A and B are shown apart, each in its own frame.
Chain A
Amino acid sequence: METLIQQILNGLVIGSVYALIALGYTMVYGILGLINFAHGDVLMVGALTALQTMMFLMGVAPGMSPVAMLTISLMVAIPVCMMIGYAMERLAYRRLRNAPRLAPLITAIGMSFLLQTLAMIIWGRNYHTFPQLISTTPMQPIEGVFVTPVQIFIVISSALIMIGLSLLVNKTRIGRAMRATAENHRVASLMGVDTNTVIAFTFVIGAALAAIAGVMFASNYGIAHYGMGFMPGLKAFTAAVLGGIGNLGGAMLGGIVLGLVESLGAGYIEHLTFGFLNSSYQDIFAFIILGLVLIFKPTGLLGERVSDRA
């Protein structure tokens, strides 16, 4: 029983991170119909920038409290990622907005390579140890079930950020402009919405979420390196599709579901298939679920955002 609870907990933690990254994919898709494959690499830049800042702070102010250090690192990593997000949109994607859909997609893959290579030049190929500023000492809320403060922090802050983002999109002026642009950006611009600003804003917010997710990811596992964004990026994209791409609630649900499926899949696949499949099929299991959902519900769990581009 404690194994089951532990697996659910494992899935919830990793699922929260997936959900946070998936939001970035889904927001951009909802508005532009573009899958920004470089999103996972923005996450990596966020984590490594935060790492660099922490190293610097440890050098100049060794006595600084962990909370202050984490906050300052985030305050550096978030703007850096926002700038990268803005630059990608402004320099690459905006020029291709009216090009065939394949062109921006290939550009996004190119952006991903570009960011990874730059990071490799700056930070090297080696794995770096990421300071775990939030405690990783396990606690036992239930006998046999272990949870660390950093995991609790990840789940709670992801939830808060998602609530904040929903409020931003549904209750604010810029949120209304975003929804209008997603609906039809030509009409929105005729109505006086500055669609260029709205699209740039979307990229910037997505990048900020990626930066936070990157720091969380690195804090949880205690490592960071230039290729760390690829797998979580791919998984988060899957989560976004699973939940219904373009749909914010779908991204959150998709992330959590994917995390749980992976965790429970790896834990129980052997029993479920009577030893025929084992944990080397962990990732395939997640994609089988994705396949099944898309066969019976092609628009994902919560449905794709309805717009002419989707």
Chain B
Amino acid sequence: MKKTIVALAVMGLGITGAHAQEMIVKLGSVAPLTGTISHLGKDNENGARLALEDANAKGITIGGKKVKFELIGEDDQADPRTGTTVAQRLVDAGVKGVVGHLNSGTTIPASRIYDQGGVPMISPSATNPKLTQQGYKGIFRTIANDVQQGSALGKFMVGPLGAKKVAIIDDRTAYGQGLADETEKAAKAGGAQIVAREFTTDKATDFNAILTKIRATNPDVIFFGGMDAQGGPMLRQLKQLGVTAKFVTGDGGCSPEMIKLAGDSIGSSAYCSMAGLPLDKMPGGAEFRDRFKKRFNADVQIYSPYAYDAATAIIAAMQKADSVEPSKYLPALKASTVPGVTGNIAFDEKGDIKEGAITLYQFKDGNWVAM
């Protein structure tokens, strides 16, 4: 979950006479470009950059002037405080729109700064439902949120997995609890019985007590809303307690790290979900992969197609409104229906992507394999 800020700034004054009819519009991209998930951050930035370069190559005219888009890349270090600092910097630089940030934790506090600064923001990767529930007008995302993810997980458990009895555990964080609640709702609606609802923390290592209690209720499926650092050891303890129920978790556990930490205790009865589609299944996925590789000499990590679509949506809205001013193009952005790499980009009234896709994975041959 990266925050990419695409800032569109009109620099009408600094341009020399030769290009008097050309208008430079700055777009910002914010994501962690340093630290443990910097590879994901760079990926987002490149996605946004590619969209801008495509627009420039096409030669777009807005308000009678030829427009040249320019990307300002900022690093939020996946840190909420740094996130708000760079957000303010972009607002002060007079950007007209922002793609970002990556993490929910940085996007939510930064969204307030953009709202106050009147700069529209589209996150390509922040999934926490709260982001779009704050009542801000110019805040969007191109990725499915955790409500959509939880409901997909719940349906998956009662449908394909055929669960009648479901046990649910969460780590009492905003993410884990939110996801577990949504999953529980969907599983109940699907007719499953919730036989246990247990809790742990995001710092715990011992789950034997709650797992023993769950074992006594004999569930078909155990769902865990939390991160891989707890999920891995939890799988080990389930095996040690002789529990054979299927194990399902969300995107927090859908990582190579989870597989590493679970050791030999993970098997084909483990499933996880991720917001978004695998690249191969996106409408424009194959073409995007090739062009991305050619331009940046790097593989698509996860969210760059979503960053590309976010930037594309902003540019398309500007064209439609024939203005780069946020107040003018915001209504057009809200009403977007732009065919993007990841699918049709259209937002609901809160700013969430309509029909956000969720993909389910099963553990197979040492890896998570999309189902």
Contact = CB atoms under 8 A, between A and B. Distances in A.
Interface residues of B, number: 30
A278 B229 contact: no
Interface string A118-148: 0000000111010010001010100000101
A216 to B, nearest CB: 13
A138 B205 CA distance: 19
Contacts of B198: 266, 278-279
Contacts of A282: 199-200, 209-210
A231 B236 CA distance: 20
A227 B229 CA distance: 12
B213 A146 contact: no
B203 A231 contact: yes
A278 B199 contact: yes
Interface in B199-245: 199-200, 203-206, 208-210, 212-213, 215-216, 229, 232-233, 236-237, 239-242
Contacts of B210: 266-267, 279, 282
B240 A223 contact: no
Given A221-B206, A280-B172, A280-B199, A138 B213 contact: no
A204 to B, nearest CB: 27
B233 to A, nearest CB: 5
Given A3-B216, A146-B240, A129 B263 contact: yes
Contacts of B242: 138, 140, 146
Contact of B261 (A129, A132, A140): A129
A127 B257 contact: yes
Nearest to B35: A125
B16 interface: no
A129 B209 contact: no
Contacts of B197: 278
B171 to A, nearest CB: 10
Interface in A85-134: 125-127, 129, 132
B36 interface: yes
A138 B261 contact: no
B232 A223 contact: yes
A159 to B, nearest CB: 20
Given A127-B257, A263-B209, A279-B213, 12 more contacts: A3-B215, A10-B208, A126-B36, A136-B236, A146-B241, A217-B205, A221-B237, A223-B205, A227-B203, A266-B209, A278-B199, A279-B209
Interface of B: 36, 172, 197-200, 203-206, 208-210, 212-213, 215-216, 229, 232-233, 236-237, 239-242, 257, 260-261, 263
**Complex A-B, nearest 4 residue pairs according to Cβ-Cβ distance, in ascending order:** A280-B199, A266-B209, A10-B208, A3-B216
7 contacts: A7-B209, A126-B36, A221-B233, A223-B229, A231-B203, A267-B212, A279-B198
